[in-house]
């Protein structure tokens, strides 16, 4: 945990303290502030207080002492609830503005971690509780230079593996065979292992109607064969090993056949989704050039513009993109491109990364085009992954 960096952010945001609350591993923020090779075994409530000035302190039960022994901070122990209340009264000052993993109305589920009762407990100390959403962005969601470099490497590797997967489909079909979704999924996982990449989940390989299911899961048995004339979605994500590194998470569309044979409806939907994705990229880059600040919902709105203009709004099933940040999850803890599932009002800040992945899902097929972006502190928002502009045709 970089205390001086956090305290500088607290002062910039006119906050008096950050109070991180965890119960039995409920708050991923605590885990990111104090990474550990082994999962911490915590059985009682834990509070980390980082004041804008002064030394942080960890409040916890003696029972959790062994699991927190590696954290070199002053500790304030409490046993029962009365001692907990006394400990909070000791470290908090009436009138303070205190950030917690809380969002009014639960508007951002990823940041709505502290339960209502705990927020009430803290407010009872005479403090104002505000959201830590932008504080999390400015600290633990930010990419380091090393993470950026590792992400660029992973993106090159993932892009090459995606190309190899489509080429494998073409070669198998040309040889008179019909590879299954499971076969291609296994091929990608084997290539990840060979390239030294890690992923928590298997990639999505969806043919025809399966491409219209945003979270299609390839069955272990009985997956669909891929044949000439089929429409194929491949969504794959991986990173260089380690929780300080960032996933490369992309989705590409392909057709098993020649370009002139792509059905007109498939091509039409592809072009609409491509325009939606590119509109979000253009707004991010244009706003930076103009010195404007954006929020996540605005990029989502930009992507939905071409879709709504084309009359395809009913086929939208999810937000435009998710955060990419350090940590074990592919979906990170920074700003999402979301004005549908939530209205993400977090600022799109330098040092943050995200995906741009609009999708349209019809009953007979779907199209999702996903690329990755990073708001480089000097260069502005840049695309860090492959950028699909035409349908991949394999024969």
pLDDT digit string, tens, across residues 148-172: 999 999 999 999 999 999 999 999 9
Q: What is the pLDDT of residue 39?
A: 79
Chosen domain end from 138, 163, 198: 138
| 315 in the same domain as 334 | yes
CA pair distance 31, 122, nearest whole angstrom: 21
Q: What is the DSSP string of 345-356?
A: --B--TT-EEEE
Number of domains the chain is built from: 2
Number of helices and strands in the chain (H, E): 9, 16
pLDDT tens for each residue of 82-105: 999 999 999 999 999 999 999 999
| Sheet containing 45-51: order of strands | 75-77, 57-60, 45-51, 17-23, 97-100, 128-131
Please check whether residues 152 and 111 belong to one and the same domain. no
Mark whether 48 and 79 lie in a shared domain.
Answer: yes
* Residues 90 and 153 grouped into a single domain: no
Please tell me whether residues 169 and 125 are part of one structural domain: no
Residues 155 and 120 in one domain: no
Taking every pair of Cα atoms in the chain, the longest distance, rounded to a whole number of angstroms, is 75
> Which of 108, 123, 138 corresponds to the end of one domain?
138
What CATH number is attached to the domain comprising 89?
3.40.350.10
pLDDT of residue 38: 78
Point out the residues of the chain with pLDDT beneath 70.
Answer: none
Q: Which pairing describes strands 371-376 and 353-356: parallel, antiparallel, or unpaired? A: antiparallel
**Angstrom distance (rounded) from CA 337 to CA 372:** 12
| Domain with 107 in it | 3-138
Degrees, nearest 5: CA angle 361-362-366: 50
134 and 164 in one domain?
no
Tell me what pLDDT residue 250 has: 98
Q: What is the CATH number of the domain that holds 160?
A: 3.90.230.10
Task: Please check whether residues 124 and 169 belong to one and the same domain.
Answer: no
Domain boundary among 138, 162, 193: 138
Res 395: pLDDT: 85
- pTM, two decimals, is 0.93
Same domain, 60 and 163: no
**pLDDT for residue 158:** 98
Q: List b or e across 238-257, with b for residues whose CB sees 16 or more CB atoms inside 10 angstroms.
A: bbbeeebbbbbbbbbbbbbb
236 shares a domain with 213: yes
345 and 251, same structural domain?
Answer: yes
Q: Is 65 exposed, middle or buried (0-12, 13-18, 19+ CB in 10 A)?
A: exposed
């Amino acid at each position: 945990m970089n205390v001086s960096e956090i305290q500088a952010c607290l002062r910039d945001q006119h906050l008096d303290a950050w109070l991180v609350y965890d119960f039995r591993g409920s708050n991923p923020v605590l885990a990111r502030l104090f990474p550990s090779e082994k999962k911490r075994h915590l059985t009682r409530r834990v509070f980390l207080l980082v004041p804008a000035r002064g030394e942080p302190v960890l409040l916890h039960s003696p029972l959790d002492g062994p699991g927190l022994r590696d954290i070199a901070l002053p500790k304030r122990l409490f046993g029962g609830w009365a001692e907990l209340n006394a400990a909070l009264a000791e470290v908090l000052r009436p009138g303070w503005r205190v950030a917690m993993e809380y969002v009014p109305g639960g508007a951002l589920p990823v940041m709505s971690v502290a339960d209502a009762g705990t927020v009430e407990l803290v407010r009872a100390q005479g403090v104002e509780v505000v959201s830590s959403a932008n504080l999390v962005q400015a600290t633990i969601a930010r990419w380091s230079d090393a993470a950026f470099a590792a992400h660029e490497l992973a993106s090159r590797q993932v892009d090459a593996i995606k190309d190899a997967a489509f080429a494998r489909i073409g070669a198998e079909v040309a040889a008179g065979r019909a590879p299954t979704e499971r076969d291609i999924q296994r091929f990608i996982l084997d290539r990840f292992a060979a390239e030294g990449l890690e992923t928590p989940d298997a990639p999505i390989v969806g043919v025809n109607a399966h491409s219209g299911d945003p979270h299609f899961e390839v069955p272990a048995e009985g997956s669909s064969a891929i044949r000439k004339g089929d429409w194929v979605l491949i969504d794959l994500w991986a990173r260089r090993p380690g929780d300080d590194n960032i996933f490369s998470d992309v989705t590409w569309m392909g057709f098993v056949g020649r370009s002139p044979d792509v059905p007109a409806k498939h091509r039409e939907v592809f072009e609409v989704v491509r325009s939606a994705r590119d509109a979000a990229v253009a707004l991010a880059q244009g706003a930076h050039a103009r010195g404007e600040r954006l929020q996540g919902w605005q990029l989502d709105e930009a992507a939905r513009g071409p879709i709504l203009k084309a009359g395809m709004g009913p086929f939208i099933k999810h937000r435009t993109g998710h955060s990419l940040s350090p940590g074990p999850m592919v979906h990170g803890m920074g700003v999402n491109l979301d004005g549908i599932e939530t209205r993400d009002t977090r600022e799109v800040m330098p040092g943050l990364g995200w995906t741009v992945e609009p999708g349209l899902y019809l009953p007979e097929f779907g199209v999702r085009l996903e690329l990755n972006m990073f708001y480089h502190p000097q260069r502005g928002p840049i695309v860090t992954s492959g950028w699909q502009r035409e349908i991949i045709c394999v024969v």
